[in-house]
Amino acid sequence: MSVKPIIHLSDISEINRFVKSSTRHPLVSIVDFSKADEYIEEGTRISADFYSIMFKNYCTNQLKYGRQSLDFQDGNLICIAPRQILTMDTEIEMKEDRTGWGLFFHPDLLRGTSLANKMSEYSFFSYDVTEALHLSDKEKSILLDCINKIEYELDQNIDNHSQKLIVSNIELLLNYCSRFYGRQFITRKNSNSNIIAQVEIVLKEYFNSTRVREQSLPTVKYLSERVNLSAGYLSDLLKKETGMTAQDHIHYYLIEEAKNVLLNSDQSVSEIAYSLGFEYPQYFSKLFKQKTGKTPGEYRAV
């Protein structure tokens, strides 16, 4: 199958035309999937200049977000940041029995609001692959209530209160998503434990090999790819389970390796820094003191 060109949607009116829905507000739209009449071919790739939050209460198709398949199943919610690419992994034809909704809002809607400065805190917009949020019936109802309030505002004439009320309800919905993702990390504790074990194995193997000397320090991206998760999801999972981010875990193994070399070799601090992938020894010394409370020289002298 040939690679299809990316369908790029630059504004809200274009997503509405794509799903054959009317435009009620230039910067935000809610699409009722049960009413959207659209046929989407296999391999169709879509990107947009706006945020997309989509909930589907039916199970018929596979999507590809990033490089791997995402099973967008019954009761799942996915959140996509602007300029990300969503690929239809199978050929789908929308059916009459589907239910669900999509909330699409342009960053311009948030200009001048407190939410604009907080969007980076909602790290689930950077999640991908199998990291969709699976909602309970109660959680579905809570998010739907937020959607209905936004829907109500879209049906009114735009006035001085419209933006504030719409943005407030979007923020409320995002805050609930943060809570529900926190719950999901807890309910998936067993599978999370397996991921943590995989992370430990990957880092031990990396630092026990010559790779750190030949290829420099492992990155969070490298680590996340080895366990088939996005960098954002992996870091949030590790933070939730261990209190340490993915970068913290890399630094932990780095410092442990540095301690071993300091106590078991005559190499200078600069030589150790270069051997551990640091371009500048000063950064190694600063990080070592930050993590241990001692400089490398002080640690070696104890």
Give me 17's structure tokens: 């035309």
Q: 100 — alpha (psi -120 to 50), left (phi > 0) or beta?
A: left
Q: Domains, the chain, ranges and CATH? A: 6-187 (2.60.120), 190-301 (1.10.10.60)
Note the pLDDT of residue 3.
62
CB 22 within 8 A of CB 16: yes
Note the pLDDT of residue 88.
59
- C-alpha 293/C-alpha 299 separation (Å) is 9
Note the pLDDT of residue 22.
85
Give me 272's structure tokens: 């150790």
Place of tokens 């009114």: 156
Note the pLDDT of residue 116.
94
Q: Mean pLDDT for each consecutive 10-residue tract of the chain (302 residues)?
A: 74 87 92 70 78 76 46 69 72 54 95 93 79 87 96 91 95 96 81 84 85 77 89 89 89 90 91 87 93 92 80
Note the pLDDT of residue 58.
53
Note the pLDDT of residue 27.
95
Note the pLDDT of residue 94.
45
CB 245 within 8 A of CB 237: no
Tell me how far the alpha carbon of residue 179 is from its chain's centroid. 15
Tell me the pairing of strands 62-65 and 68-71. antiparallel
Note the pLDDT of residue 72.
42
Q: What is the pTM of this model?
A: 0.69
Q: Is the dihedral of CA 291, 294, 298, 299 positive or negative?
A: negative
CB 227 within 8 A of CB 259: no
DSSP the chain: -PPPPEEEE-SHHHHHHHTT---SSSSEEEEETTT---EE-TT-EEEESSEEEEEESS---EEEETTEEEE--TTEEEEE-TT-EEEE-S-EE--TT--EEEEEE-GGGGTTSHHHHHGGG-GGGG--TT-PEEPPHHHHHHHHHHHHHHHHHHTSPP-TTHHHHHHHHHHHHHHHHHHHHHHHHHHTHHHHHHHHHHHHHHHHHHHHSSHHHHH-SPPHHHHHHHTTS-HHHHHHHHHHHHS--HHHHHHHHHHHHHHHHHHH----HHHHHHHTT-S-HHHHHHHHHHHHSS-HHHHHH-
Q: 247: exposed, middle or buried (C-beta count within 10 Å: 0-12, 13-18, 19+)?
A: middle
